[in-house]
A = this chain, B = another copy of it.
Amino acid sequence: MPGFVNEEAMARDPFRLIAHAQANHARCIDDDRLEAWPDFFSESCVYKITTAENLREGLEAGIIFANSRDMLRDRVSALREANIYERQSYRHILGQPYILSDEGAEVRSETSFLVVRIVQDGDSHIYATGRYRDVYAISDESAKLNERIVVCDSSRIDTLLAIPL
C-alpha cells in the first residue's frame, strides 16, 4: 500500500480532530440535543464528574459516574423526565485542547471550560468552570471519547446537575 503511511501522517492531526469534536460536543449540549450526546463517546467509555478538591484528596468516587454509553443514554432519559418545568439553557466556552500524550490510537488532552447558565428573564451567571481530562480514540477522520473526567474547580456543585458538563 504505497503512500499510505504518508497520507495518514498528513491527515492525522489530533489537535484539529479534538478541537472539532469538542466544539461539536458543546454545540450538542447547548442546542439541547442531548439524545445525540452519548454518540460522542465510545461504547465502553468512562464519564465522570468530580471536583479538584476530591482529586487532590484522592477521592475516586466522583459526583456522577458512568462506564458505558448505555449509562449515558439512561442519564439523558432521566434528565428529560425530570427537567420538564424549567426554562434554562447553557453555553459552553472552551479553551484550546492541550495534548498531554499521543500514543497513536489514544490521545490524552486537557481543556479548560466555562459554562454559563442562562435563565430566561433572568441574569446569566457562571454555572461551572474546570477542565476536561479526556482520552480520545483517534481515527483518520474523527475523535471519540474513551474517557472524560470533568474536574470542576468549585466544590459547591449542584448535585442535581441539570445537564452534562
Q: A residues near B, CB below 8 A? A: 15-16, 19-20, 22-24, 26-27, 30, 52-53, 89, 91-99, 110, 112-114, 116, 118, 120-126, 128-131, 153-156
Contact = CB atoms under 8 A, between A and B. Distances in A.
Copies per complex of this chain: 3
B124 A124 contact: no
A102 to B, nearest CB: 13
A121 B26 contact: no
Contacts of A123: 125-126
A129 B30 CA distance: 11
B19 A96 contact: yes
Given A89-B52, A126-B125, A155-B121, A23 B95 contact: yes
